[in-house]
Structure 1
């Protein structure tokens, strides 16, 4: 039965069809649910009922947070390196959003069910200050300030090699056409501007302070590689 349905319903995997049969969601023309090993006759029709997809929702988790500031509108966190900001494919638990949902009674809903309260992001491997909002009014206000650059963001990075005392990288970024999981400098990509200032150098290493005009994914890593 499952082999027959897999052939005629290529949009569904065999394991998915087996689950639908087990759940009683596949019935014959008589209206009776079919059985996994049921033989097929030539004059039968079958009806497959697909359950309505449930939206994925982030769940609260009791994860310790280093709270730098908090009031009724916003919360400011020191995000550790290794923590993903919001749930996504492969990371539905242990994220900053999961921790915030446990810590805060309310978060702004503008970011949707997977990004409540999130106004900006930091890469998984980056540690630093993150601001989250507790209501839609504060979310809109903070988003406006990030967009107008009235909120400045400074980062420090330790890099290999020698670098000039200061400078700017203005190169557009986008998905690497050869590997969609990677970000690269792409003609026609989104504008990305990074300013740097050398703080110290020692034995082939340079400590730099970076100021971003834009906040693209992996912007610092890609720009510093150029």
Structure 2
């Protein structure tokens, strides 16, 4: 089947979700691609735009316009990578704070993708497109820690499905402002774009997505608390938004934290410490742990000294 063009067909039976019907029409189309096409008006039902969860009716006419691949130039850059795991299918990188994952407006160079293109050459999944080859999930620029990258489309589809099924283990260490008195907690609150500040996310009912974060207190340091946060879902800025929502914003967070940060860290004190997943090809359980970066260790040393 051609990779781009317009595909049309009629539904015989009612009941299927729009996104699932499209995925069944051509299994080579990834879920991420289909979701993107639906959101950007490349998919219509009877000439009208519908959401991904629209339940189709017998006789509905689906039209999918598959856009051509845009030949963008993303430069390979010889940037050192802290590789924690690698084989023919997957590579896991310990990303430093301050590095953007993929190129975008204002960040065309110096990203993880630029570095991966130089290191992996052609061995990256193409599903993410020219600007995001191999990228199956992301962590914020000023969050450090582990991120997995797919070296081929087979691995990419498997890892994305594991993320969708919430079977990937993702544990973060964070330092938050305030003294959390209880040992454990679960934050189940939907996250969407903040209507007042379009660059921010917030807990909101309208135009939001289900989001769940579990946290455990690791250490109490006066008016600061060290927590482990485990993601059940993976929404934009999820930990940062959820911890602010319950009154404990992350130390150093330039968007959701205090206006002034006098502590020795640039950006939010958040580190993706543990990453666990099922190997796409072998089924083996892969679990990797990355130690805290030096700036977070320095922050903790200072807070422990003040608390003595």
The interval holding the TM-score normalised by the smaller chain is 0.7 to 0.9
| Alpha-carbon distance between aligned partners in 1 of 2:200 and 2:71, rounded to the nearest angstrom | 27
Aligned to 1:216: 235
Aligned to 2:209: 190
SS of 2:169's equivalent in the other structure is: coil
Confirm whether residue 173 of structure 1 aligns to residue 191 of structure 2. yes
> Which residue of 85, 95, 101 maps to 1:79?
95
| Alpha-carbon distance between aligned partners in 2 of 1:212 and 1:69, rounded to the nearest angstrom | 21
Aligned to 2:222: 203
Cα deviation, 1:57-82, whole Å, max 9, x if unaligned, reads: 32211100000111111111000111
1:56, CA displacement in angstroms? Answer: 3.0
1:100, CA displacement in angstroms? Answer: 0.4
| Alpha-carbon distance between aligned partners in 1 of 2:194 and 2:72, rounded to the nearest angstrom | 28
Cα deviation, 1:30-71, whole Å, max 9, x if unaligned, reads: xxxxxxxxxxxxxxxxxxxxxxxx743322111000001111
| Alpha-carbon distance between aligned partners in 2 of 1:216 and 1:58, rounded to the nearest angstrom | 26
Q: CA RMSD in A?
A: 1.1
Aligned to 2:30: none
Alignment length (residue pairs): 173
Aligned to 1:147: 164
- Structure 1: which 5+ runs fail to align? 1-53
Q: How does 1:46-195 map to 2 (within 5 A)?
A: 55-105=71-121, 106-163=123-180, 164-188=182-206, 189-195=208-214
SS of 1:65's equivalent in the other structure is: coil
- Structure 2: which 5+ runs fail to align? 1-69, 246-308
1:149, CA displacement in angstroms? Answer: 1.8
| Alpha-carbon distance between aligned partners in 2 of 1:172 and 1:57, rounded to the nearest angstrom | 36
Higher RCO (CA 8 Å, separation ≥ 6 residues): 2
| Alpha-carbon distance between aligned partners in 1 of 2:73 and 2:197, rounded to the nearest angstrom | 29
Aligned to 1:42: none
| Alpha-carbon distance between aligned partners in 2 of 1:210 and 1:144, rounded to the nearest angstrom | 22
